[in-house]
Structure 1
Amino acid sequence: MGKHAGPSRPRQKDTEGVIRARPLPVKSTVRLRRPMEARHWHKPAFSAAVAIAVPDLALLALDRMDLVLYTSAGAMCALYGHNKPYAARARTVAWVILSMIASLAVGLVSSAFVGNTLLLVLIASALAAVHKMMCDATRIGPPGNLIITFISASAFFVPQQPGLIPFHLLLAVVGGAVAWLVCMAPWLVRPEGPQRIATARALEAAAGLLRAAPDAAGPRHATAAAVNAAWQTLFLVPARSAAKYNARARLERLLIHAESALAEPAAGARSADAARFDAWAQDLRRGRPLPEVALDAGQTAELAGIAADQAAMAGRGQEAMARTGAGTDFGSGSGSGTDFGSGQDGGAADLRRPSPDHLRHLRGFRPVLEQLRPGSPLLPVGVRVMIGCTLAGWASMAIGSEHPYWAVVTAASVFQANTTLSWQRALQRALGNLLGLLLFTALLPVIHTGHLAMVLLILLFQVGAEAWIPRNYWLGSVCVTPMALLLTSFGNAMPAGVLVRDRWVDTVVGAVIGLICCVLVTNRRATDRIEAAVARVVAAREAAVAVLDADLPDDHEAVYETAYEAGWARDRLAAALVELREAVEVASGEWWQRALPAERVALTERDGHRTLARLVRRLTAPTLAA
């Protein structure tokens, strides 16, 4: 049974007509945790701090701290892209910066030409809904839509002169350029850092699986997801030179070994393999030289099949096959022939390539647009954000708050993938903001000493927020709240009592109204997503079984093709299983919807993982090269 599949209830059938209500958790909402990702909090934290410090100190020297909002719009983009290889990070951060500037432009133009505050709230809420859906569709990762929504919503309510809009946007471009340079700077020191960390996470997950009970579903799901994410990372790494080729090839060999944990190895080898995986992960994280790792004959044949296929596609089939097979001894199983390409002639053809399903999700606008098509489960989320933010902003105005965009941002932050997560985020936001307001009040004597103290506090809070958010969102909000108040204070000085009052009122209004919208606008399509994910797993499993049931070939050329097909079948099945687990986790958090097909999901996952294990064993079997 899957980890979310509880015991069967009497008389509860796996049908669409059954409705069930899910209780909302409280204790787990405020409990601190120790996530694996917390060890890398310093990367986005100090990147953003440096990116903010450079323009802020320049503005401080020029005595123009009223322009902090515009430079911060670009500088805050330094929080994004830290889990991607540097080539992909360069593109990702650039797109985030462009999106931030475009959103800022909408806010500034609306502020300059729209005089109706009700309409400003409506436009800001619509933009927040776009941010939420686009960030979910692109899976941009933390901090998601929150930063872009906060900056752009603030711009809607800052007095603006039309003639100054180009200058203010130019400041945002400058801040974005600084953020881009800061994000790319570590490439000079550790150009392989992101892919090393992704591979290390996969090895650590595989070690955890080997130490767990053989039938444990949780570690198996975690390992499949970590391995899949690591492959996605490596697929983004170019290999245009000999050095880059060799570095990526060594990481691929380590990742192939991590993937072998899914094949349910013999009990006697589990402990030794787990210790070896942990040692490799430590080497990767500490920047030590990549270990030389041998591959089994089946793994070698898979890479050879990729080389042959890529060469044939380029019209160089026979020549490349001769070159590939010249130094390869499949029968030995020692991995001595794994160095297929020197990389001197651009030949990284024998590196593992993404399957068509992987490739479809890696690049281009089409995958994003497909997730926003009519009937998409993201559309109810966008409706929630639009309605909730609008009502929260209007309610804040009705109460008399001078910062209705805080209610808009709070409501936008509340909306998560399902009702349960939204409930947790609402409680966390309220608790964190209350404590943050108390901290801001306690620091007022320091804040009143001048702008330099305010800038230093902003940098300190930025680092603290990134350090504490992985432990729990409410803990990070303790730092985010005073930082937001300080950013607001530069351009529009107001009494501290008014700021604290408005912030607390807007937080409560945004959280309550946002949560009410989450409860009323349930995502009934979440269960439909499970049905579609189950169908994809079944189709991928059937294709994999067809590959497994095929007779093993006798000649080496056919071995390449067989291994290549098995590799693609494995990729497709692993990705489908990860997607199914994500769909179940999202749907299981909706408080009111059709009953989840728990038994069918559990059986599908069980059969899928068993078939995946057979595929991995096939690709690591010495007999494949017989």
Structure 2
Amino acid sequence: MLTGPWRPAARLRRALSPRGALALHRVDGALSFALRAALAMALSALPMALTGRADQAVYAMLGSFTTSFGRNLPYARRIRVLAVVALAMTACVGGGVALAAWARPRDGEAGAVLTVVATALVAGSAKFACDAARLGGLGAVLLLVSFAVAANGAATPADVLPRTALAAGGAAVAWALAVAGWSVYPDRTLRRQARALVGRRRRAPQILPDLALPVLIAQTGTLARPDSAVDPARASGPAPGAVDPTTLRATESRAAELVTGPAHGRTAVLLVPALRMVLGTGVAGGSALALGLGHGYWAALSAAAVLHSINVRTAAQRAVQRTLGTVVGLLLALGVLALEPRPMALVLVIVLLEFFLEYVVARNYGLGVVFLTPMALLLTDLAAPAPAGTLVQDRALSSVLGVALALGCALAVVHDRAAVRAERALAACAVASERAEGALEDGNAAVLPLVQARLAAAVVELREADDAAAGELWPAEVDPTELAAAERRAYLLLDRLVRRG
């Protein structure tokens, strides 16, 4: 074991290791999700483009980013979550346009500084909200993109309401498409994820918070764990589909609140990543402004993309992914802009890029950046045309600046609360396991579903807390053997609870 002055250096080297940055993940339902996202953008933007207002179609497209959230949410929760996201996306666009009309960041330094500050505050707020709601993926970055694009465009007071309405329309279309499948196949998402668990094609803890673990256990008869925490000899049970759909939805509705419950009371844990986001985007945007970079808000967006992570290690991975993806994406954008496409053609290309973005981003964020980069450039060119070489140069310089400053910010702001969270999660999981054992001994069937849901929430929180703390510079004082034993005990108890129920 390393001791003395070498131990901090080893932790720093481990945290900044880009290992895993190029790994590809298996994703279920990626094609249907990508088609839905592209359709939402097309339905939102094409009417404006066909009437000769392609520049205004940008704001409808920003609203349609709503569909990027809630990829794996069950329909019952997706309806509520995406409604809130739609409101947030509309507010970001409306607030951005209002700021552009009032501060006029293009015309004076004071307005530009105010816009940088506002962008940083929006970034931090979006990060905090997405983490609290356990919304992964591009999450806060897309909210920030909507605000930044709107805030850095040319606008007058008369533009605020029309552009906000366009964003609201795009968000409404995205929401409607995202929940349309409920009337046809209300349990599609739950059953697909149940099959994924049984097939051991994913790490269970990564998806259970959004999918109501007790429901999946009820569907599949057991919880399939990649590390065989549940005895394979006891892994038999009813096949997916054996549970009545009405009962399934009712159980999911009751369990969802319990499974996501540990997010409450973690304000201190959530504040540090949000603070990193505020500082990183603020410093990046301010530095780009001081250096006179055109489209300097792209530096803030690059910083936000790196800092929209769970710890220093994932921030380092995002930095590698962002850099490599941006290089390829800029070449793609340069090829498209060199053809000098008409506005209608630009809209169609952006829709196509949205399809590829949503199809690959869950597999690897770097692949997503390959398509996100030209999409951002084309959106900017659509709203305010500029020479292709200027756009590409601004994007390249801003990306380098944003990524470098984001990494520095991630290292400068030490997240010691992540270690505390892991320690508390281990204790909470032990308490939940003891209560589950007591309930099994008492034999009171009425309390078993509640005990089961609370134990599921505790073990999910334990895995998430440990993953977050493991990539920080401040280590958690948790014995890995003790943690593994606690997880194994919890999953064995969950298996017993299902069989008893």
TM range (shorter): 0.7 to 0.9
Aligned partners of 1:418 and 1:589 also within 8 Å: yes
Residue 571 of structure 1 aligns with which residue? 453
- Per-residue CA deviations over 1:419-446 (Å, capped at 9, x if unaligned) read 1111111121111111111111223343
Matching residue's letter, 1:83? N
CA–CA distance in structure 2, aligned partners of residues 574 and 188 of structure 1: 29
Query: Which of these residues, 310, 324, 343, is aligned with residue 431 of structure 1?
Result: 324
Q: Unaligned 5+ residue runs, structure 1?
A: 1-8, 209-218, 235-250, 282-289, 294-338, 551-558
Does the CA-based 8 Å contact 1:104-1:151 persist in structure 2?
A: yes
Contact persistence 1:263–1:614 (CA under 8 A): no
Alpha-carbon distance, 1:25 to partner: 5.3
Q: List per-residue Cα deviations over 1:189-213 (Å, max 9, x = no partner).
A: 43321122122223223xx7xxxxx
User: d(CA) in 1 for partners of 2:493 and 2:181?
Assistant: 40
Contact between 2:217 and 2:498, CA under 8 Å: does it hold in 1?
no
Whole-angstrom distance in 1 between the partners of 2:57 and 2:166: 9
How many residues are matched? 489
Deviates more, 1:45-54 or 1:191-200: 191-200
CA offsets 1:207-254 (integer angstroms, 9 cap, x no match): x7xxxxxxxxxx9xx4466666543595xxxxxxxxxxxxxxxx7743
> What amino acid sits opposite 1:473 in the alignment?
Y
Per-residue CA deviation, residues 19-41 of structure 1 (Å, 9 max, x unaligned), is 954424556354242x232x322
- Is residue 609 from structure 1 mapped to residue 456 from structure 2 by the alignment? no
Specify which of 105, 112, 115 is matched with residue 117 of structure 1: 112
Amino acid at match of 1:418: N
Q: Which residue of 1 aligns with 2:84?
A: 95
SS in 1 for 2:341: coil
Contact 1:547 1:565 in 2 (8 A): yes
Identity of aligned residues (%): 30
**How far, CA to CA, are the matches of 1:185 and 1:615 in structure 2?**
33
Match status 1:254 vs 2:147: no
Paired amino acid for 1:231: A
Offset, 1:605 = 3.6
Partner of 2:107: none
* SS of 1:370 mapped into structure 2: coil
1:151 counterpart residue number? 146
| Matching of residue 409 in structure 1 with residue 323 in structure 2 | no
AA paired with 2:65? M
In the alignment, residue 196 of structure 2 is paired with which amino acid?
Answer: R
In the alignment, the residues of structure 1 paired with residue 122 and residue 208 of structure 2 have an alpha-carbon distance, to the nearest angstrom, of 35
| Aligned match for 1:419, one of 312, 321, 325 | 312
Report the Cα offset of residue 528 of structure 1. Answer: 0.8
Distance in 2 (CA, whole Å) between partners of 1:453 and 1:353 is 44
SS in 1 for 2:14: coil
User: Is the CA contact (8 Å cut-off) linking 2:213 and 2:456 kept in structure 1?
Assistant: no
Q: Secondary structure at the match of 1:377?
A: helix
Q: Give the equivalent residue in structure 2 for 1:36.
A: 26
Pair 368,113 (structure 1): closer, same or farther in 2 beyond 3 Å = farther
Query: In structure 1, what is the Cα distance between the partners aligned to 2:207 and 2:384?
Result: 46
Deviation of 1:76 after TM superposition, in Å, equals: 1.5
**Equivalent residues in 2 for 1:376-391 (5 A)?**
376-391=268-283
Pairing 1:361-372 to 2, within 5 Å after superposition: 370-372=265-267
Tell me how far apart the structure 2 counterparts of residues 490 and 410 of structure 1 sit (CA, whole Å).
20
Q: State the AA in 1 paired with 2:369.
A: S
Alignment partner of 2:89: what SS? helix
Q: 1:228 to 1:129 in 2, by over 3 A?
A: closer
Instruction: Report the 3-state secondary structure (helix = DSSP H, G, I; strand = E; otherwise coil) of the residue aligned with 1:510.
Output: helix
Structure 1 CA distance for aligned equivalents of residues 249 and 187 of structure 2:
20
The residue that corresponds to 2:466 in the other structure is 584
Matches within 5 A, 1:158-557: 158-205=153-200, 222-223=203-204, 230-232=211-213, 234=215, 253-258=218-223, 263-266=230-233, 273=236, 280=239, 290=241, 292=242, 352=251, 359-360=257-258, 370-372=265-267, 376-415=268-307, 416-446=309-339, 448-550=340-442
The AA in structure 1 aligned to 2:71 is H
1:335 aligned residue: none
SS in 2 for 1:443: helix
* Closer/same/farther in 2, CA of residues 112 and 361 from structure 1, 3 Å limit: farther
Structure 2 residue 477 is the aligned partner of structure 1 residue 597? yes
What is the deviation of 1:538?
A: 2.0
Distance 2:316 2:249 in 1: 48
Deviation at 1:509, TM superposition (A): 0.7
User: 1:82 touches 1:194 (CA, 8 Å); kept in 2?
Assistant: no
Query: C-alpha distance in 2, partners of 1:349/1:66?
Result: 46
Q: TM-score, normalised by structure 1?
A: 0.71
- Could you say if the C-alpha distance between residues 18 and 55 of structure 1 is closer, same or farther in structure 2, counting changes exceeding 3 Å? closer
Aligned to 1:3: none
